[in-house]
Amino acid sequence: MSNLFQEYKVSLKDISVEEPLDLYLFRPIAFILVKLIYRSSLTPNQISFLSILAGILAGFLFALGTPASFIYGGIMFGLTHILDLCDGMIARLKKTGTPTGRIIDGLADYVNGVAVYTGFGLGLSRSSLEFPISPILIVLFTGICAAIHSMIADYFRSEFMAHALDKSRSVQEERELFTSELKKMKQIKGKYLEKLLIKVYLKYSRVQAGQTSKKRKYDQKTYFKTNKSLLRLWNCLGASAHISMFMISSFLFNPAIFFYFVLGIANIAMLVLWVFQVNTNKRIDLTANV
């Protein structure tokens, strides 16, 4: 049992940066699936594409607009997230992760988000539920807010791993790495998909980093001490929290639960956390005191 738990820990990014619902719910389920397919020939990228197929199916089920289809759509959306976790867990266990693979994993999240939210909006417009304005507009605005929450939470998670744990590059360092890689790839023919994915990633990371080119520097111990509590709060606004609330509202055929969470609670929490985060990082930024 201890060996199994140790293997589970190896499959994680780091316990301190994991979202609570992922750590105690979704990742244990994903780990069981990983153990079942570990010796198969499935690659992390192939699992990412399976996640995309599951997301498209979830969107189709939501688009039917019935209470039963919402239940099945919610289950399928949960499976989509579990498969999305599986690819990274297998990559870490087999040590087969690649930079392009990380981009494909991120792309899968966006494709799934578009498919699910589109189906959700169409399904609500076909349902018997009543709304003060077009449900498609409500879903569109909610989806944008949910994407922003997840993007910002992911950004500060990456920064924590880079500056507090020294286990990854910061977003700015990642941008520099991929920019250099793209310049090399432009000198050779082919690999058009990889080039396109890197270009898309660079656009995304520029938005995620707030379009700043300044490279910040922090003391590792100080960053860990001042940011660990903030990161726990950011993780409560991550993808798993949104997916869980989405699933609950789907099972109950009550989208208001999800709308109130995203448009009310999560938006307010994001603004408050952002103020604390900016002030905290400004206070411990070593480059600001040079």
Q: If you write DSSP's letter for every residue of 180-229 in order, what string do you get?
A: HHHHHHTTSS--HHHHHHHHHHHHHHHHHTTT--------HHHHHHHHHH
Q: Quick check: 114 pLDDT over 70?
A: yes
- Residue 208 sits in the same domain as residue 234: no
Can you give the pLDDT at residue 211? 44
Position 223 confidence tier, pLDDT thresholds 50, 70, 90: very high
- Residue 57 sits in the same domain as residue 157: yes
Final residue belonging to a domain, choices 215, 245, 274: 215
Q: Quick check: 65 pLDDT over 90?
A: yes
- Highest-confidence segment of 29-33, 68-72, 91-95: 68-72
Position 164 confidence tier, pLDDT thresholds 50, 70, 90: very high
Residue 287 is classified by DSSP as G
> Residue 111 and residue 136: Cα distance in Å, rounded?
18
- Residue 250 sits in the same domain as residue 284: yes
- The pTM assigned to this predicted structure is 0.83
Angle between helices 220-235 and 135-163 (to 10 degrees): 160
Position 2 confidence tier, pLDDT thresholds 50, 70, 90: low
- Residue 22 sits in the same domain as residue 71: yes
- Residue 180 sits in the same domain as residue 248: no
Closest to 225 in 3D by CA, of 280, 158, 275: 280
For range 38-52, the mean pLDDT: 89
User: How many folded domains does the chain comprise?
Assistant: 2
Q: Quick check: 102 pLDDT over 80?
A: no
Distance of CA 178 to the CA centre of its chain: 20
Can you give the pLDDT at residue 106? 77
Final residue belonging to a domain, choices 215, 237, 268: 215
Average pLDDT of the chain to the nearest whole number = 86
Neighbours of 259 (CB within 10 A): 19
∠219-221-223 over CA atoms, to 5°?
Answer: 65
Domain of 233: which CATH number? 1.20.120.1760
In sequence order, the 6+-apart residues with CB closer than 8 A to the CB of 265 are none
> Residue 261 and residue 219: Cα distance in Å, rounded?
36
Q: Quick check: 103 pLDDT over 50?
A: yes
Percentage of the residues of the chain whose pLDDT score is greater than 70? 84
115 or 206, which is more confident? 115
For range 144-160, the mean pLDDT: 92
- Residue 200 sits in the same domain as residue 256: no
Q: Phi/psi class of residue 133: alpha, beta or left (left: φ > 0; alpha: ψ in -120 to 50)?
A: beta
- Residue 158 sits in the same domain as residue 211: no
Final residue belonging to a domain, choices 187, 215, 243: 215
Percentage of the residues of the chain whose pLDDT score is greater than 90? 58
∠100-203-284 over CA atoms, to 5°?
Answer: 95
For range 55-83, the mean pLDDT: 97
Q: Is 39 helix (H, G, I), strand (E, B) or coil?
A: coil
- Residue 121 sits in the same domain as residue 194: no
Range of the domain at 239: 2-170+216-289
Whether the CB-CB separation of 76 and 58 falls below 8 Å is answered with yes
pLDDT in tens, 253-288: 999 999 999 999 999 999 999 999 999 999 998 876
190 or 150, which is more confident? 150
| Residue 42 amino acid letter | L
> Residue 5 and residue 2: Cα distance in Å, rounded?
5
pLDDT in tens, 166-214: 876 666 666 676 777 677 767 777 666 566 667 766 776 666 555 444 5
- Residue 75 sits in the same domain as residue 209: no
Whether the CB-CB separation of 172 and 215 falls below 8 Å is answered with yes
- Residue 165 sits in the same domain as residue 250: yes
- Residue 187 sits in the same domain as residue 154: no
- Residue 146 sits in the same domain as residue 258: yes
Residue 253 is classified by DSSP as T
Q: Is 117 helix (H, G, I), strand (E, B) or coil?
A: helix
